[in-house]
């Protein structure tokens, strides 16, 4: 029955909410997830039509400010060097993600100890290891076991083929003697758990019509629903409500008809991502929590990390067939991952070799970078670029900085008049140096692979794919928002399971670690159930 009190209320049905809900369902407690977006249908994804690129730039854009769909909320990004990106639906941002699936490395959990910067995590790689493995099985991960950059682990499925573009790019790393390894990818190289294998449609970033890419609407959610978890869509949570003693007792949310509803719960779990979670906490002010919920440390919304990216494109004489295959999943390189102070910066970066984009995006990118003019020379210049490009993304580790924030915008609101988030993010000097270094090394690798020319975008603005750090975890309530298993220091029946809890962010995509953490929090709750609120 609608609004019957529940045991566990999860807010947000994305990568972390799905993993958590599935895992906690074993307890027998009633579990409900409120999600502001809808269920997606694979037959509606752009790749079903010739206009797939046009739709990918509009209603399937990675920016909520471009899409402006009913499920979206606006984000003020005027004071940010990088635009925060996301998708709001069952599956969350995994609907559009590239499914590149590295884990944080063991060293990423102890940055302070290793390099004297940032802070150490209160947990380590070993704590999460069983959850990484469980998550790999649930999502369906393809990869090659034995990467020397990681402790040994075996992805459940064989690696995806590198294709001509991957073989070519990898040859450059081989020639230079640099580390590279086929990526762990949450894309199926073979049929798995009733899902079909990847057929190289190449439009991962606007949804996978084949269902081979692991978005959580087709991985965790069906399994969670079979365990009795309910998902209520079109429901936007306005605020978390509290009892007189300051503990959470549920939420107020707008349902699909725009009616304000109240939902009571014994445990509230936030999984709204690194922007949505601090927004909701800051919107949940009360007499007991005047600065926003769980914010006695004043750290809610602070320490936003976004992984500044650069991209370098190599142009090759031979066609590379880079349009075909999982867009973001070729291989990674950790050659420059660890601190080497002679480089002039601390910490490091990874490369993610990716495939290229469709013809319209190639033309747009080419024109923006002065490579493809309009007019008489258009076709010649286009032909030189299209299908002849190989790309390296440079993912840099940005260190936590309290001046990089998610706050509430004083004016901007969403369709329900709920204050919208404002993102303030400025690139640090360390990040700038790291990006510059990465661009030069990427050019070297591309030339070694046979590129005849390279073109760099030294800082990608539309690249805020990873939203982290805005409700960091730690043992000390003065310097963190949640403890080592996601429990809010100030509100013991409130948990956070998304990337907000990251203490530092490594130099790899975060979702494997986010989901492993969400599973770990669920198990921690189960184990501590008797004493949870003591």
Partner 1 sequence: MTETPAALNDLHFMKTLLDLLIPPSASGDLPGAGALGLSAAVATALQADPLLGPPVEAAVQALRETTLSQHPEGLPGMAPQAAVKVVEAQLDPMLIMGILLYLYPAYYQHPRVLEGIGEPPRPPFPEGFDVEATDAELLEKLRARRRA
Ligand X SMILES: Cc1cc2nc3c(=O)[nH]c(=O)nc-3n(C[C@H](O)[C@H](O)[C@H](O)COP(=O)(O)OP(=O)(O)OC[C@H]3O[C@@H](n4cnc5c(N)ncnc54)[C@H](O)[C@@H]3O)c2cc1C
The footprint of ligand X (CB under 6 A) covers 11-17, 34-37, 62, 85-89, 92-94, 96-100, 205, 236-237, 271-273, 276, 280, 328, 465-466, 498-499, 509-511, 514
Site for partner 1 in 205-234 (CB under 8 A): 209-210
**Least distance in Å: CB of 56 to partner 1?**
9
- Could you say which of 4, 41, 44, 49 contacts partner 1 (CB under 8 A)? 49
Which partner from the list ligand X, partner 1, none does 237 bind, CB cut-off 5 to 8 Å by kind?
ligand X
**Least distance in Å: CB of 429 to partner 1?**
30
Under the binding rule (CB under 8 A), the answer on residue 412 touching partner 1 is: no
Under the binding rule (CB under 8 A), the answer on residue 62 touching partner 1 is: no
Which partner from the list ligand X, partner 1, none does 364 bind, CB cut-off 5 to 8 Å by kind?
partner 1
Query: Which one, 385 or 463, has the nearer CB to partner 1?
Result: 385
**Least distance in Å: CB of 244 to ligand X?**
24
Query: Which one, 450 or 477, has the nearer CB to partner 1?
Result: 450
Rounded Cα distance, 259 and 232, in Å: 14
* Residue 215 contacts residue 37 (beta carbons within 8 Å): no
Which partner from the list partner 1, ligand X, none does 182 bind, CB cut-off 5 to 8 Å by kind?
partner 1
Work out whether strand 31-34 and strand 6-11 pair parallel, antiparallel, or are unpaired: parallel
Under the binding rule (CB under 8 A), the answer on residue 146 touching partner 1 is: yes
Q: Which residues does 509 contact at the CB level (< 8 Å), separation at least 6?
A: 98, 100, 101, 102, 307, 352, 395, 465, 466
Rounded Cα distance, 273 and 148, in Å: 31
Under the binding rule (CB under 8 A), the answer on residue 177 touching partner 1 is: no
* Residue 132 contacts residue 53 (beta carbons within 8 Å): no
Under the binding rule (CB under 8 A), the answer on residue 144 touching partner 1 is: yes
Which partner from the list ligand X, partner 1, none does 245 bind, CB cut-off 5 to 8 Å by kind?
none
Site for partner 1 in 275-294 (CB under 8 A): none
Rounded Cα distance, 82 and 85, in Å: 9
Which residue from 218, 216, 270, 212 is spatially nearest to 240, judged by alpha carbons?
270
3-state secondary structure of 523: helix
Which partner from the list ligand X, partner 1, none does 457 bind, CB cut-off 5 to 8 Å by kind?
none
Query: Which one, 392 or 518, has the nearer CB to partner 1?
Result: 392
Query: Which one, 12 or 250, has the nearer CB to ligand X?
Result: 12
Rounded Cα distance, 478 and 508, in Å: 28
Tokens of 67: 């899409």
Which partner from the list ligand X, partner 1, none does 128 bind, CB cut-off 5 to 8 Å by kind?
none
Query: Which one, 469 or 499, has the nearer CB to ligand X?
Result: 499
Contacts 24+ apart (CB under 8 A), 286-293: 286/241, 286/242, 288/242, 288/244, 288/245, 288/246, 289/242, 289/246, 289/490, 289/491, 293/240, 293/242, 293/248, 293/488, 293/490, 293/491, 293/494
**Least distance in Å: CB of 375 to ligand X?**
32
The full DSSP string for 452-521 is SEEEEESS-SS-B---B-TT-B-S-TTT-SB-TTSBBSS-TTEEE-SGGG-SS-TTS--HHHHHHHHHHH
Rounded Cα distance, 129 and 516, in Å: 8
Which partner from the list partner 1, ligand X, none does 17 bind, CB cut-off 5 to 8 Å by kind?
ligand X
Query: Which one, 199 or 260, has the nearer CB to partner 1?
Result: 199
Which partner from the list ligand X, partner 1, none does 396 bind, CB cut-off 5 to 8 Å by kind?
none
Query: Which one, 371 or 514, has the nearer CB to ligand X?
Result: 514
Rounded Cα distance, 432 and 298, in Å: 28
3-state secondary structure of 141: coil
Full strand arrangement of the beta sheet holding 331-333: 181-182, 331-333, 349-354, 389-396, 309-315, 453-457
Query: Which one, 163 or 246, has the nearer CB to partner 1?
Result: 163
Tokens of 413: 């609101």
- Could you say which of 4, 26, 44, 51 contacts partner 1 (CB under 8 A)? 51
Tokens of 10: 């999860």
Under the binding rule (CB under 8 A), the answer on residue 325 touching partner 1 is: yes
* Residue 316 contacts residue 388 (beta carbons within 8 Å): yes
* Residue 13 contacts residue 20 (beta carbons within 8 Å): no
Which partner from the list ligand X, partner 1, none does 501 bind, CB cut-off 5 to 8 Å by kind?
none
**Least distance in Å: CB of 363 to partner 1?**
4
Of 45-53, 235-243, 440-448, 482-490, which segment contacts partner 1 by CB under 8 A?
45-53
Which partner from the list ligand X, partner 1, none does 387 bind, CB cut-off 5 to 8 Å by kind?
partner 1
Under the binding rule (CB under 8 A), the answer on residue 57 touching partner 1 is: yes
Which residue from 467, 45, 9 is spatially nearest to 217, judged by alpha carbons?
45
Which residue from 304, 314, 249 is spatially nearest to 277, judged by alpha carbons?
304
Rounded Cα distance, 428 and 340, in Å: 18
Query: Which one, 53 or 136, has the nearer CB to partner 1?
Result: 53
Footprint on this chain of partner 1 (rule: CB under 8 A): 45, 47-54, 57, 144-148, 150-152, 159, 161-164, 166-167, 170-171, 174, 181-182, 198-203, 209-210, 321, 323-325, 358-360, 363-364, 367-368, 374-376, 378-379, 382-383, 386-387
């Amino acid at each position: 029955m609608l609004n019957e009190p529940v045991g566990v209320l999860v807010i947000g049905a994305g990568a972390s909410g799905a993993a958590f809900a599935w895992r906690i369902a074993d307890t027998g407690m009633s579990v409900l997830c409120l999600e502001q977006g809808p269920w997606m249908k694979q037959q509606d994804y752009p790749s079903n039509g010739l206009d797939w690129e046009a739709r990918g730039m509009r209603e399937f854009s990675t920016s909520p400010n471009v899409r402006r769909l009913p499920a979206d909320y606006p984000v003020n990004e005027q004071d940010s060097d990088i635009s925060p990106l996301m998708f709001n639906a069952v599956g969350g941002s995994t609907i559009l993600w590239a499914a590149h699936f590295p884990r944080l490395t063991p060293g990423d959990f102890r940055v302070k100890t290793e390099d004297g910067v940032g802070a150490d995590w209160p947990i380590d790689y070993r704590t999460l290891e069983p959850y990484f493995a469980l998550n790999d099985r649930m999502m369906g991960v393809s990869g090659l076991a034995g990467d020397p950059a990681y402790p040994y682990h075996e992805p459940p499925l064989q690696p995806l083929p590198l294709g001509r573009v991957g073989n070519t790019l990898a040859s450059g790393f081989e020639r230079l003697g640099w580390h590279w390894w086929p990526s762990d990818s949450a894309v199926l190289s073979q049929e798995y758990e009733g899902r079909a294998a990847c057929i190289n449609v190449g439009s991962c970033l606007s949804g996978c019509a084949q269902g081979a890419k692991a978005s959580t609407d087709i991985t965790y959610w069906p399994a969670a629903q079979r365990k009795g978890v309910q998902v209520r869509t079109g429901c936007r949570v306005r605020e978390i409500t509290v009892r007189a003693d300051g503990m959470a007792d549920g939420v107020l949310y707008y349902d699909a008809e725009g009616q304000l509803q109240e939902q009571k719960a014994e445990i509230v779990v936030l999984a709204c991502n690194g922007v949505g979670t601090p927004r909701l906490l800051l919107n949940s002010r009360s007499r007991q929590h005047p600065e926003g919920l769980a914010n006695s440390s004043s750290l809610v919304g602070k320490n936003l990390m976004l992984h500044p990216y650069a991209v370098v494109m190599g142009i090759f004489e031979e066609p590379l067939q880079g349009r075909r295959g999982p867009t973001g999943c070729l291989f990674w390189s950790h050659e420059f991952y660890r601190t080497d102070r002679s480089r002039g910066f601390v910490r490091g970066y990874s490369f993610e070799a990716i495939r290229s984009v469709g013809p319209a995006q190639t033309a747009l990118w080419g024109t923006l970078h002065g490579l493809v003019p309009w007019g008489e020379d258009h076709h010649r210049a286009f032909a030189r670029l299209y299908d002849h490009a190989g790309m390296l993304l440079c993912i840099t580790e940005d260190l936590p900085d309290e001046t990089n924030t998610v706050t509430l915008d004083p004016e901007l609101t969403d369709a329900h008049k709920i204050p919208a988030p404002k993102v303030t993010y400025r690139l640090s000097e360390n990040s700038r140096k790291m990006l510059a270094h990465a661009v030069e090394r990427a050019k070297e690798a591309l030339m070694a692979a046979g590129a005849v020319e390279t073109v760099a975008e030294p800082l990608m603005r539309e690249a805020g794919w990873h939203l982290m750090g805005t409700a960091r975890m730690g043992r000390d309530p003065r310097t963190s928002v949640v403890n080592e298993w996601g429990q809010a220091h100030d509100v013991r029946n409130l948990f956070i399971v998304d990337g907000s809890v990251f203490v530092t962010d490594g130099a790899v995509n975060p979702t494997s670690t986010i989901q492993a953490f969400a599973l770990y929090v669920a198990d921690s709750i189960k184990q501590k159930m008797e004493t949870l609120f003591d």
